[in-house]
Structure 1
Amino acid sequence: MKTILTYLSIGVLFVVIVAAVLLFTSLGERPLTALFAVGDVEAVDFAELKLTDKPNQFLSCPPGFCSANPHADSPVFDVSVDRLRERWREVVAVQPRVEFLAEDEEGQQFDYVQRSVRFRFPDIITVRFISVSFSQSTLAIYSRSVYGKSDFGVNRERIDAWLKPLREGL
């Protein structure tokens, strides 16, 4: 009986160590990324977008651009759409755990995935650049979680954090 308990204790300890390695080291990145796959990402049509009833999403749009009622109005920047897109790429490039997914044919809409630190849960971020005039532009951003129901405000915080350097640097 004592031998069985010893083997059982060793087995439990082994499982705990493996779980800790997978959750708290970079060795766990690949299995968790594979486990929580993004899947197929459908193109977002902001003019036809319908939000789900889940709170794990956040939409920022210029007034009248999105069919869905946005959580926030997007700012208008006193720069061309090309300059806004260029600055956006600079902001996204320094964000942790962000991967580029897709670009539309016109080069005005982009999809990204950002993963959570520990469990590598993916969130999808779609941004569309909109020219207001030759010297003004804005954007529509839709950030949503792939898994779960609540995101504890992560999608809103992400959009706010990504817009902040745009507001300050343009």
Structure 2
Amino acid sequence: MSGPIGALFGRGIGGLPPATPLDFAALRLPPSPNTCLAAPPGGHAQAHITVPPLPVDAATAWPALRALGDGLPRVFRYGEWPERRQAQWVARTPLMNYPDIVTAELVPGPAGAGLFLYSRSLFGWSDLGVNRRRVEAWLAALEAALRRR
């Protein structure tokens, strides 16, 4: 089953089209409030959250970034492009099983890696702040993982 019905009734990444990398430079956020974008300083004009440079370079941060969704309930790896240092996950909502897509990418920077982190709902208009809370939680988890390394 594919399309919207398959996406709703699928498990994990089931029912979703194949993952494709996201071009953050070309990204235009939708008018709906059901997204949250975190970006490095000056990284995106529509960013909701500015992420200071990470305390390590992109190559060092990549393993921690890849592991962000591991072990989280209802979160499944969707796609990965190591050459871009970009990974995607599907996060399914508990009640309705809606698939949200989370995309993260590391970019080189002079003071440490820059991070893009984008969480978006595929269905509906409002998410009641779920995507912003997810981005904030994942940012905190990455910061903690980098401190432990």
Q: Decide: shared fold, TM above 0.5.
A: yes
1:103 aligned to 2:83? Answer: no
Secondary structure of the equivalent of 2:117? strand
1:54 aligned to 2:32? Answer: yes
Q: Could you say which structure has the larger radius of gyration?
A: 1
Shift of 1:118: 2.2
Secondary structure of the equivalent of 1:157? helix
With the length of structure 2 as denominator, give the TM-score of the two structures: 0.81
Secondary structure of the equivalent of 1:140? strand
Unpaired stretches in structure 2, ≥5 consecutive residues:
1-7
The CA RMSD measured in Å over matched residues stands at: 2.3
Equivalent residue letter for 2:30? T
8 Å CA contact retained: 2:34, 2:120: yes
Corresponding residue number in structure 2 for 1:141: 117
Unpaired stretches in structure 1, ≥5 consecutive residues:
1-30
Equivalent residue letter for 1:157? R
Corresponding residue number in structure 1 for 2:127: 151
8 Å CA contact retained: 1:100, 1:113: yes
What is the alpha-carbon distance in structure 1 between the residues aligned to residue 21 and residue 68 of structure 2? 22
Q: Percent identity?
A: 34
Shift of 1:42: 4.7
Corresponding residue number in structure 2 for 1:166: 142
Q: Which residue of the other structure, out of 8, 29, 37, is the alignment partner of 2:15?
A: 37
For residues 137-162 of structure 1, the C-alpha deviation after alignment (integer angstroms, 9 at most, x for no partner) is: 12101110011111110100001001
Q: Determine which structure has the larger helix proportion and give its number.
A: 1
8 Å CA contact retained: 2:66, 2:87: no
